[in-house]
Structure 1
Amino acid sequence: MNRKRLWFNVAGAAIVGVAVSVGVIWQPTIAPVAPPSPAAFDRQLKLEGAHVVALGDCAVCHTSKNGKPFAGGLPLATPFGTIYATNITPDAQTGIGNWSEQAFARALRYGIARDGDHLYPAFPYVHFTQMSDREIAAAYAYLMSRDPVRAQTPANRLVFPLNYRPLVAFWNLLFLRPGPRDEIPGKDAQWNRGKLLVSGLGHCAACHSPLNAIGGEKSGHAFDGGVVDGWEAPPLNALNRAVRPWTKAQLVAYLRTGRASEHGAAAGPMLPVTRELATVPEDDAEAMAAYLISIQKPVEGNVARPSVSAVAATSPNAAAQRGAAIFAASCAQCHGTGSPMLIIGERPDLGFSTAVNAATPRDAIQTILGGIEWHGEDTTTYMPAFGGLYNDRQIADLVMFLRGNWSTRPAWTDVEASVAKIRQENNAR
């Protein structure tokens, strides 16, 4: 009798497990709609939508190099292969023109496309799920009012079995907590707005947190820093450990202009983010800065604060001499002591640079290899690329020269190997 009851329990649990699995994996198709007319949306809602889309960095990820805005095709490198951003213009064949607002909301809240396919979490729906209904409606109105672009998204290149979309359903069980978030009692309106933007719509943790073996953000390590598109996204909870601790005003300036006094300029994936944030109300940047300042980890002991008043004496070894020569030839005009950029342009000294003072040389290498692209006449930051001018050893010599002369933090090791590896990663994208 006991054995029969045991088998009934096992069979029941199996049936429930299968039912749950089917319910998790299978998602219904939402019927297509005729592409709505831009005139069907309230003007104020579309204006709000422009800000929502900018805060969510939608154009940054959904626009390929030299491509039409929001038309997709941008390759996103992941440890599991390459995922291509989709077309989110209102084209009915290749975009989201036949998506209803209900389908659009489901994608943001649950990571499910209109046809029922599971979206890969490179699309940060685990953060977008926190968006309010109004924000989702506004984003939909704005995107559906853009010009439709016929552009087919390339096929993703993922390793087996991760190219099997239904597996994402089980990933969601581990990492997706759907639904908007309530305000935290006892916190003021600015702090709560900042938390919702940083943790939700702005999805800052998606880049600035380490990932586990299956691509989820490591539990308990939010904002501890990560790697995205070959660049280090520095920890956002250690801004108080910089050479000069970040202030709220400096964060606001950085978010809106891509440059902050006593810290440096945005580069890599962060640069286009700051260009988007330049278009949103300043109140939103202030709210994000207020929240970020509030999550700093306590500083234990004394943090080494290097002097930035002048370049230290170069050590006599051959690598340092080669690095000094390269710096004099290609960098001193802008970054040398007394250069016009420092005096007239009021740019920060290299001793303040996050990249120069980082735990690894990755961002310093990337900046030198690729530079900072010119972005029209209104650009505030530009740096030419030197990857085609210098070989791996020369880049390594320069990087080690910068570290040794503008930072008191420990010297980096195996820099030349890092340069070679990063070049290879960049070429594979």
Structure 2
Amino acid sequence: MTRQSSPSHRSLPRPVRMASVAAAFALFALYLAWHAASDADGAPADEIPLSAALAQGGSNSATSPDASPTPGPTAGLAQESQASDVDNPDLVKRGAYLARAGDCIACHTADKSRPFAGGLPIATPFGTLYTPNITPDPDTGIGRWTDADFVRAMHEGIGKSGERLYPAFPYTEYTRITERDVLAIRAYLNTLVPIHYTPPRNDLNFPFNQRWLMFFWNLFNFHDGRFVPDPKQSPQWNRGAYLVEGLAHCEECHTPRNFMQGLKTSDRFSGAQQAGWSAFNITPDKAGGIGNWSDDDLVRYLSTGVAPGRANAAGPMADVVANSTQYLTSDDLRAIGVYLRSVPPVSGGATRSRDQWGKPADDVTALRGTAVKGVSGAQLFVANCASCHDWSGQGVGGNAPLAYPSLIHNSATGAGNADNLTMVILHGVARRTKDADVMMPGFGDELNDEQVAAIANYVTQHFGNPRAAMTAADVAKLRARQQ
């Protein structure tokens, strides 16, 4: 016998099912096309990342570069407020300090002759983002933004025209900043020289160029809300938490990311990769992190870029020191240290601190008169590095501000991988602070991948962690990373 289906479970005829699927797909395609057309109407101010969002806000009406904005019911009040803010020197001074703490200039400056005008390319797994112009230029910057627009961008990641901003702009951290501080930053930005410059449009692969999809990303990775002080903690701890978790957005570089490129909250501050560089573990673990650093070590490192016998800032961290942390007060720097000492320690598998490796080399005399055969890390080191770092690897100048650093007890040479050491060999170091203008030339144009790998391996084997080995292929990958 053939079993008959009851009417309530009988499936729809195949033609009807096919028509339903086609109709649903057509509606979805029209939805995508509508959003794509909305994005194409004008490059949203956040057409870029990190600081880009500073240029996004939240009015409901978009204005084209050549059109005059239509005044809303509060437009006069907003213009009045902005004018009075510019005339408030204390507010502007506070905003300048907070903008330094947030390192806004780093991401929003591609050309130093155009500070804050954006255009800096930021590589992501989904394509390239370009930071926006956040000068008060009315056509290409944020000159027509209201305070409400600016606050909405910082707190919610929503642009002036209602578009969702990409999280390369760390609104996920900035949401914790008080409205008072956000408006102080805005008051400072209003005093900048307007620069008429339109950064390139983002170059993201489909479907990541569809901003509306950020709605789903935010569901899993964004929690809107201001910082709430913990009454069980000291005022110093709360100040440090406010800076680290908010304006300074330390997690953006020092916390690994999940498959959606959101932060892995289970491994906060345990280290991550940034454009080929390692942003090291800064938890209080004594082997994997900075648990053996003193308060003075951390303050000196953040204010000068150097913690003698521990680390020398290079790459993105050198920029953070030069543009941001060197300008923070000693009280704020110490508050940051107090907070970082309280986060859960993460070893990351490390059993020995990265600043506790190495001893002076004593094999240079054996090279004298030796014929050059093949690629020798020792010979390349003596020829290219020893004049500054000494053939023993102990550096020159001790702890003086302009000293050539020791390669012994150095985080870059004692790390579990030689990425930062290799990037320094390739690109050098440029770090300008109030104490010193530090410069090391890069050797990427003079040395090939095999030679760079040979030097890196010689340095790690003699002065650092011998388990951190590089191959020519590894060097080639790092060389290709966008800086």
SS of the equivalent of 1:232 reads strand
Q: For structure 1, which segment, 349-358 or 72-81, has the greater mean C-alpha deviation from structure 2 after superposition?
A: 349-358
Distance 1:244 1:123, change over 3 A: closer
Q: For structure 1, which segment, 100-109 or 226-235, has the greater mean C-alpha deviation from structure 2 after superposition?
A: 226-235
Cα distance in 1 for partners of 2:326, 2:312 equals 14
Q: Does 1:334 find its partner at 2:388?
A: yes
Structure 1: 5+ residue runs without aligned partners?
A: 4-17
The CA deviation at 1:342 is 3.6
Question: Which one has a bigger Cα radius of gyration?
Answer: 2
Preserved contact between residue 38 and residue 145 of structure 1 (Cα < 8 Å): no
Which of 371, 396, 402 pairs up with 2:428? 371
Q: Does 1:201 find its partner at 2:247?
A: yes
The CA deviation at 1:422 is 1.1
Q: For structure 1, which segment, 184-193 or 304-313, has the greater mean C-alpha deviation from structure 2 after superposition?
A: 304-313
Q: For structure 1, which segment, 121-130 or 355-364, has the greater mean C-alpha deviation from structure 2 after superposition?
A: 355-364
Preserved contact between residue 319 and residue 397 of structure 1 (Cα < 8 Å): no
Letter in 2 for 1:177: H
Letter in 2 for 1:265: N
Distance 1:365 1:86, change over 3 A: same
Q: Does 1:29 find its partner at 2:60?
A: yes
Cα distance in 2 for partners of 1:238, 1:157 equals 39
Cα distance in 2 for partners of 1:47, 1:217 equals 32
Preserved contact between residue 415 and residue 468 of structure 2 (Cα < 8 Å): no
Preserved contact between residue 86 and residue 191 of structure 2 (Cα < 8 Å): no
Q: Give the structure-2-normalised TM-score.
A: 0.77
Q: For structure 1, which segment, 318-327 or 346-355, has the greater mean C-alpha deviation from structure 2 after superposition?
A: 318-327
Distance 1:56 1:39, change over 3 A: closer
Q: Does 1:293 find its partner at 2:341?
A: yes
Letter in 2 for 1:332: A
Letter in 1 for 2:334: E
Which of 235, 243, 256 pairs up with 1:210? 256
Preserved contact between residue 306 and residue 312 of structure 2 (Cα < 8 Å): yes
Distance 1:306 1:204, change over 3 A: closer
Letter in 2 for 1:260: A
Cα distance in 2 for partners of 1:104, 1:244 equals 38
Preserved contact between residue 101 and residue 137 of structure 1 (Cα < 8 Å): yes
Matches within 5 A, 1:184-199: 184-199=230-245
Find the counterpart in structure 2 of residue 13 from structure 1. Answer: none
Q: Does 1:147 find its partner at 2:178?
A: no
Matches within 5 A, 1:409-428: 409-412=466-469, 414-426=470-482
Q: Give CA deviations for 1:47-69 in whole Å, capped at 9, x if unaligned.
A: 11011101111001111143411
Q: Does 1:310 find its partner at 2:310?
A: no
Which of 283, 288, 308 pairs up with 1:261? 308
Cα distance in 2 for partners of 1:244, 1:197 equals 20
Find the counterpart in structure 1 of residue 43 from structure 2. Answer: none
The CA deviation at 1:204 is 0.4
Letter in 2 for 1:419: V
Q: Give CA deviations for 1:98-151 in whole Å, capped at 9, x if unaligned.
A: 111111000000001111111100000000000012111110100111111111
Cα distance in 1 for partners of 2:350, 2:125 equals 36
Distance 1:89 1:323, change over 3 A: same
Distance 1:374 1:205, change over 3 A: closer
SS of the equivalent of 2:123 reads strand
Find the counterpart in structure 2 of residue 350 from structure 1. Answer: 407
Give the aligned length. 405
Letter in 1 for 2:182: I
Q: Does 1:46 find its partner at 2:95?
A: no
Distance 1:234 1:68, change over 3 A: same
Structure 2: 5+ residue runs without aligned partners?
A: 1-7, 9-27, 39-57, 63-68, 70-74
Distance 1:366 1:38, change over 3 A: farther
Preserved contact between residue 282 and residue 290 of structure 2 (Cα < 8 Å): no
Cα distance in 2 for partners of 1:72, 1:249 equals 35
Cα distance in 1 for partners of 2:266, 2:378 equals 42
Preserved contact between residue 92 and residue 187 of structure 2 (Cα < 8 Å): yes
RMSD: 3.0
Distance 1:407 1:312, change over 3 A: farther
Preserved contact between residue 244 and residue 352 of structure 1 (Cα < 8 Å): no
Letter in 2 for 1:293: R
Find the counterpart in structure 1 of residue 101 from structure 2. Answer: 55
Letter in 1 for 2:382: A
Q: Does 1:280 find its partner at 2:334?
A: no
Distance 1:343 1:353, change over 3 A: closer
Letter in 1 for 2:444: G
SS of the equivalent of 2:411 reads coil
Distance 1:252 1:195, change over 3 A: same
Q: Does 1:109 find its partner at 2:165?
A: no
SS of the equivalent of 1:163 reads coil
Letter in 2 for 1:389: E
SS of the equivalent of 2:244 reads helix
The CA deviation at 1:160 is 0.6
Preserved contact between residue 243 and residue 306 of structure 1 (Cα < 8 Å): no
Cα distance in 1 for partners of 2:183, 2:252 equals 23
Letter in 2 for 1:272: D
SS of the equivalent of 1:351 reads coil
Letter in 2 for 1:417: A
Q: Give the structure-1-normalised TM-score.
A: 0.86
Matches within 5 A, 1:227-242: 227-237=273-283, 240-241=286-287
Find the counterpart in structure 2 of residue 403 from structure 1. Answer: 460
Cα distance in 2 for partners of 1:320, 1:104 equals 59
Cα distance in 2 for partners of 1:127, 1:377 equals 28
The CA deviation at 1:340 is 3.0
The CA deviation at 1:373 is 2.4
Cα distance in 1 for partners of 2:290, 2:464 equals 9
Q: For structure 1, which segment, 78-87 or 335-344, has the greater mean C-alpha deviation from structure 2 after superposition?
A: 335-344
